Amino acid sequence: MRLTNRILIAEDEPRIASFLEKGLRASGFMTAVAKDGYEAVLMAQDEDFDLLILDIGLPGKDGWMVLEELRGQGEYLPIIILTARDEVRDKVAGLEGGADDYVTKPFRFEELLARIRVRLRDKRLPKQQEEMVLRAGNLALDLRTRQVWVGERLVKLSAREFTLAETFVRHPGQVMSREQLLSQVWGYDYDPGSNVVDVCVGYLRQKLGRDHIETVRGVGYRLRI
């Protein structure tokens, strides 16, 4: 049984890759470096790593493509994005795309090390992956790959539609008011009088099937089970 955690570093800047390798090895980890996105995907798939540190600006396939491909294949490896992009929308995209954490450059190694240890401590065993799939009736939502199934049919949802579907599936049979859905799915940046909830529910009905979400007049919506 291997007692030392192995970390894959997907980073094309030699200076940063070397800095990470030296720091992680001094902290007791084994490391390997992928210099582009193609190599990162192959190494993550074929070798026994416990965590991936992923730069977004990789040549070949960028970090977004690597993240999408690995999660789309059901790869459960914990992934920490390490990038100079510090815009909120980039952080949201990374986390919603399946990353476990997001660290911006420049960074303090001590902070990155602490985040790595948290992810490794919380790492789930393969037999526990089923816990990442939410089910209600014939709906199944995979929280890791962001895939949605209606029976045997795979349905493609936008990030917002997926979050709305997840909210319904977590509260099957419960009436959810528009205000509740606004706060849980959109946050508090939207006007309570907006019809954004009704519009998104309409899109979700078209994709999941109209019978899945019931309108409760004067109150809100409910997922039928």
Query: Could you read off the pLDDT of 185-205 as tens digits, one per residue?
Result: 776 455 556 788 899 999 999
Average pLDDT score over residue span 22-29? 89
Picking from 16, 34, 18, the residue whose alpha carbon sits closest to that of residue 26 is: 18
Average pLDDT score over residue span 122-142? 70
Tell me how crowded residue 169 is: count the other CB atoms within 10 A of its CB: 19
Instruction: Tell me what the pLDDT averaged over the chain comes to.
Output: 84
DSSP state string for the chain:
---S-EEEEE---HHHHHHHHHHHHHTT-EEEEE-SHHHHHHHHHHS--SEEEEESS-SSS-HHHHHHHHHHTT----EEEEES---HHHHHHHHHTT-SEEEESS--HHHHHHHHHHHHHSPPPGGGGGGGEEEETTEEEETTTTEEEETTEEE---HHHHHHHHHHHHSTT-EEEHHHHIIIIITTSS-TT--HHHHHHHHHHHHH-TTSEEEETTTEEEE--
Residue 162 · residue 137 · CB < 8 Å: no
Q: Is the pLDDT of residue 35 over 90?
A: yes
Which of 225 and 172 is assigned the larger pLDDT?
A: 172
| CA 128 to each of CA 9, 124, 140, 170: distance values in angstroms, whole numbers, following the listed order | 25, 6, 16, 18
Q: What is the pLDDT of residue 126?
A: 47
Q: Is the pLDDT of residue 17 over 50?
A: yes
Q: What is the pLDDT of residue 190?
A: 55
Instruction: Look up residue 15 and give its amino acid.
Output: R
Which of 49 and 143 is assigned the larger pLDDT?
A: 49
Rounded to 10 deg, the angle between the 88-96 and 159-170 helix axes is 60
Q: Is 187 left (phi over 0), alpha (psi -120 to 50) or beta?
A: left
Q: Is the pLDDT of residue 125 over 70?
A: no
Pairing, β 79-83 against β 51-55: parallel
Domains defined along the chain, listed by start: 6-123 (3.40.50.2300), 129-223 (1.10.10.10)
